[in-house]
Chain A
Amino acid sequence: MKDKIAEKILLLIALSAILSLLLITFFIFQQGVPFVVRVGLGNFFSTIWSPNRGHFGILSMIIGSLLVTAGALAVGIPFGLACAIFLAEFSSKTIQKTLKPIIELLAGIPSVVYGFIGIVILVPFIRETFGGPGFSVLAASIILGIMILPTIVSISYDALSAVPATYREGSVALGATKWQTVRMVLIPAARSGIVAGIILGMGRAIGETMAVIMIAGNALKIPHSILDSVRTLTSTIALELGYAAGDHRAALFACGAFLFLIIIILNIIAIKVTKRR
């Protein structure tokens, strides 16, 4: 009898996750969508963001987010994959056991600390070496790349480790070197896992806020070079929510809704990719 009651209670508890998700979706959209309907898609997707004058165009910020994400992937994927391959295929058990937690520790460092390091070290370096304000797409890409590295390493490592031993053995039996095996057999076999890791890394890069605010410069124009300042969707929300009111605030929620949509779509793609085996 008490078993039945327990089951019902646990079911309710288990629904809390999906319930929270629905709540979040509801409230964000409730604040943001009527606003977009009101000002029109033309305004919302224009390039000018000037809330005081009624311009709520997020296009330049979307481009900013895209550029910074692309940059992050350009940094994160090579290094992430390299670490994953090295750990999974070219290192002994002891090295794996020591290095993997260390790389996972990178994920634990708060984003504000990353941003801070960016400010005090990377930004001046870029400014002096390459010119420009230093607060730039380049700076953001590098720091974000480091931040999404652990995600890519973890998931790619798991994907590579999950490839059955028979694949390796078969390849080596044919006379291939380890690297050839990795390149021609293992990576293709682990492809869906690696892609899922990259998609998730992409999601984290798009959603990153604090570090980006600190080092990307937050200029409201579309950048022309990677040394230009840039502003992302997330930065705008974080920078202006503190004092925004009325329409302005609704606009920020609309930004959030748009962001949320993109992330959910990325998540669904990642889940689909992992399921397709």
Chain B
Amino acid sequence: MTFRIGPRTNQIIAYSVLLLMTIITVLILFFIIGYVFKNGVGQLSLEFLTDRTREMGKEGGIFPSILGTLLVTIFAILIATPLGVGSAIYLVEYTRGGMIRRIISFGADCLAGVPSIIFGLFGFIFFVIQMNLGWSILSGGLTLAVMILPTIIRTSEEAMKAVPYTYREISYSLGGGKLDTILKVVLPTSLPGILTGVILGVGRAVGETAAVIFTAGSSLGIPTSLFSSTRTLAVHFYILAREGISMPKAYGTATVLIIIILAVNFIAYRLMHRFIARYY
């Protein structure tokens, strides 16, 4: 009799392999974060966070980059959120299958798949050169806005679709118009979901490098206006690491970057759960 592995044993083997691979994956995440933190936490001091950058990054702090990242991201959000939520409102409330909906969805889906370097190329030729905005927070913010637009559209769309149809019916039966219903019933109800999308967009924007380096530039000065060029945290980290300017500072910058992203994801996660808890 040949020795066969029965289905039960097969399953045990399969389960162990799957479990192992999952554990490896999770461990990789912890490892990456842990390694960066271990080497970078020592760098974190009030001085590091508030000092100007000196000697091309070898000395000093990362305040200009923190400020620059903040400004670029906020600007991007200010542009992308109204456009994204507005698009979602139109998709959910005003279309019902049909050509326009498919075109808009297609546009958003494709935009979501475009690599960041292409956004960098586009931002460079369009905002920096064509629109003559130069390397600036404006160029960077606008480019990032286009990048995170699909994220906001998608999450807002899901959030608004989740609002029960009966809520709208009731508003209409009470004599509310379409705009009333959207503004006073649908939007307030879907707000947590929409915010989650915005926050996820923030997370994406903060970690972006290729799109930002060619639009916001890499100036190390403290930005003074929207037209100032600036070096965001991710870009600064990239330059420090690649040029080998200062490993300790690089680790420090990366640690700050990861902390921001962890915070952002955590907030989004909690928001999402509050939203789900309301309806399921």
Contact = CB atoms under 8 A, between A and B. Distances in A.
Q: Do A and B come from one complex?
A: yes
Contacts of B250: 116
A21 interface: yes
Contacts of B169: none
A238 interface: yes
Nearest to B11: A179
Interface stretch (B52-60, B111-119, B159-167, B222-230): B111-119
A90 B94 CA distance: 41
B118 A20 contact: no
**Which of B22, B24, B116, B207 is the most central at the interface, judged by chain A CB atoms within 10 Å of its CB?**
B22
Contact of B241 (A13, A31, A116, A178): A116
Contacts of B119: 24
B22 to A, nearest CB: 5
A110 B214 contact: no
A179 B207 contact: no
A141 interface: no
Contact of A79 (B25, B104, B125, B126): B25
Q: How large is the interface on A (under 10, 10 to 19, 20 to 34, 35 or more residues)?
A: 35 or more
A27 B237 contact: no
A72 interface: no
A85 interface: yes
A33 interface: no
Contact of B15 (A90, A149, A268): A90
A79 B241 contact: no
Main secondary structure, interface of A, reads helix
A253 B126 CA distance: 12
Contacts of B17: 82
Contacts of B125: 27-28, 31, 253
Interface residues of B, number: 81
Interface stretch (A49-57, A99-107, A132-140, A221-229): A99-107
B48 interface: no
Contact of B121 (A11, A109, A256): A256
Contacts of A11: 90, 94, 100
A253 B36 contact: no
Interface stretch (B70-78, B80-88, B188-196): B80-88
B118 A112 contact: no
Interface string B105-143: 011111101111111111011100010000000000000
A2 B238 contact: no
Contact of B116 (A16, A121, A207, A241): A207
A102 B90 contact: no
A180 B7 CA distance: 7
A260 interface: yes
Which A-B residue pairs are the 3 nearest by beta carbons?
Answer: A207-B115, A18-B107, A110-B207
19 contacts: A3-B177, A10-B86, A10-B94, A14-B87, A17-B83, A20-B107, A20-B149, A103-B26, A108-B265, A109-B258, A110-B257, A111-B207, A113-B207, A115-B241, A119-B241, A179-B10, A241-B120, A263-B118, A268-B110
